[in-house]
């Protein structure tokens, strides 16, 4: 699987659905959330589960969004890495091995569910949307990609009122990514330096 494309799809799907609620008007609430949204920031925790081996990798970090086409997704911890989209290029930076992968932002997003976030929103065009109702006090929503070559089999979203508390994404490689979100902040000023990147001296630069 293309490492940059997979991570970017994951990031933008997270951002795409972060304003939804699992009610009859979920799509309309999503559109309303995106309407007038300029910036967004939040803390997150993530579990990456290999369903074949039951191995679990845990991480946490921050994400920042500046619409329409810039974002920064930061993983902290022993092996820090981050993704920056500056409007033209998507950069995947792995500090522990001093390596940077770069790819055209247009080609990375084109024809993917992530393009909904930076372009015209038409959720039904790319997903089958199912309201799963209430379970354990949470409202659940399922998104199933319509394209047969999608890297993801389904996305499950859990809501408490209007707050997204959990998201699970199952891919076609036997992995499940589980997210929790904290301290979402909408339309606060963000420094432009968050969305720019110049490769440091000595880093290996890979084109993908």
Task: Summarize pLDDT for 122-141 with one digit per residue, the tens.
Answer: 667 778 888 887 778 777 77
What is the C-alpha to C-alpha distance for residues 159 and 169, in angstroms, rounded to an integer? 15
* Strand arrangement of the beta sheet that strand 81-85 belongs to: 127-135, 138-145, 152-160, 163-171, 175-186, 39-50, 56-66, 70-75, 81-85, 89-94, 99-104, 204-207
Domain total in the chain: 1
Q: Are 74 and 61 in contact (CB under 8 A)?
A: yes
Per-residue pLDDT, 60: 93
**148-177: pLDDT as tens digits:** 877 778 888 777 765 667 788 888 888 998
Model confidence band, residue 197 (pLDDT cutoffs 50, 70, 90): very high
Domain residue limits at 17: 3-207
pLDDT at 194 over 90: yes
Give the mean pLDDT of 188-199: 95
Higher-confidence position of 95 and 6: 95
On the question of pLDDT at 90 being above 50, the answer is yes
The pLDDT of residue 4: 59
Phi-psi region of 19 (alpha: psi -120 to 50; beta: other; left: phi over 0): alpha
41: CATH? 2.50.20.10
Among 54-68, 86-100, 135-149, where is mean pLDDT lowest?
135-149
Report residue 199 as tokens.
Answer: 């490769």
Tell me the average pLDDT of the chain: 78
What is the distance between the alpha carbons of residues 46 and 59, in angstroms, rounded to a whole number? 5
- What is the number of other CB atoms lying within 10 angstroms of the CB of residue 189? 7
pLDDT at 111: 46
pLDDT, residue 106, reads 81
Average confidence (pLDDT) over 31-51? 81
């Amino acid at each position: 699987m293309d490492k940059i494309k997979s991570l970017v799809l994951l990031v933008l799907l997270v951002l795409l659905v972060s304003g939804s609620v699992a009610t009859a008007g979920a799509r309309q609430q999503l559109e309303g959330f995106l309407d007038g949204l300029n910036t967004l920031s939040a803390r997150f925790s993530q579990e990456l589960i290999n369903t074949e081996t039951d191995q679990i990798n845990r991480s946490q970090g921050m994400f920042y969004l500046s619409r329409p086409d810039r974002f920064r997704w930061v993983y902290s911890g022993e092996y820090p890495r981050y993704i920056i989209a500056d409007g033209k290029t998507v950069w995947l930076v792995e500090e522990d091995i001093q390596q940077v992968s770069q790819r055209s932002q247009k080609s990375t997003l084109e024809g993917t569910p992530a393009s909904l976030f930076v372009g015209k929103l038409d959720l039904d065009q790319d997903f089958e949307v199912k309201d799963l109702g209430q379970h354990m006090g949470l409202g659940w929503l399922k998104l199933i990609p319509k394209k047969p070559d999608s890297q993801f089999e389904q996305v499950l979203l859990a809501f408490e009122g209007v707050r997204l508390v959990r998201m699970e994404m199952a891919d076609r490689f036997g992995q499940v990514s589980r997210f929790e979100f904290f301290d979402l902040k909408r339309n606060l000023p963000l420094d432009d330096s968050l969305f720019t990147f110049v490769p440091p001296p000595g880093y290996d630069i890979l084109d993908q």
